[in-house]
Amino acid sequence: MAYTNALSAYKETRIRTASQGQLIVMLYEETVRQLDKSLELMGLNISGKKDPGRIETIGKGIVKARDIITELMVSLDFEQGGEIAKNLFALYTWFNKELLEAHIGMDIERIRTVRNMFNQLRESWVNIAAKTNAEGRPAEGVNIAG
Three-state secondary structure along 84-124? HHHHHHHHHHHHHHHHHHHHHHCCHHHHHHHHHHHHHHHHH
Fold entry, domain 20-135: Four Helix Bundle (Hemerythrin (Met), subunit A) (1.20.120)
How far apart are alpha carbons 43 and 34 in whole angstroms? 14
Most confident of 117-121, 132-136, 139-143: 117-121
Which distant-in-sequence residues (6+ apart) come within 8 Å of 95 by Cβ? 69, 114, 117, 118
Q: Which SS3 state, helix, strand or coil, does residue 48 take?
A: coil
For the entire predicted model, the pTM comes to: 0.76
Top-confidence residue, 61 or 47: 61
Per domain, the residue ranges of the chain are: 20-135
| Predicted local confidence at residue 84, as pLDDT | 93
Please tell me the predicted confidence (pLDDT) of residue 55.
Answer: 86
Cα–Cα distance, 26 to 85 (Å, whole number): 19
Q: What is the average pLDDT score of the chain?
A: 82
Confidence grade of residue 132 (pLDDT, cut at 50, 70, 90):
confident
- The CA R_g of the chain, rounded to the nearest whole Å, is 17
Helix (H, G, I), strand (E, B) or coil at 62: helix
Q: How far apart are CA 94 and CA 76, in angstroms?
A: 16
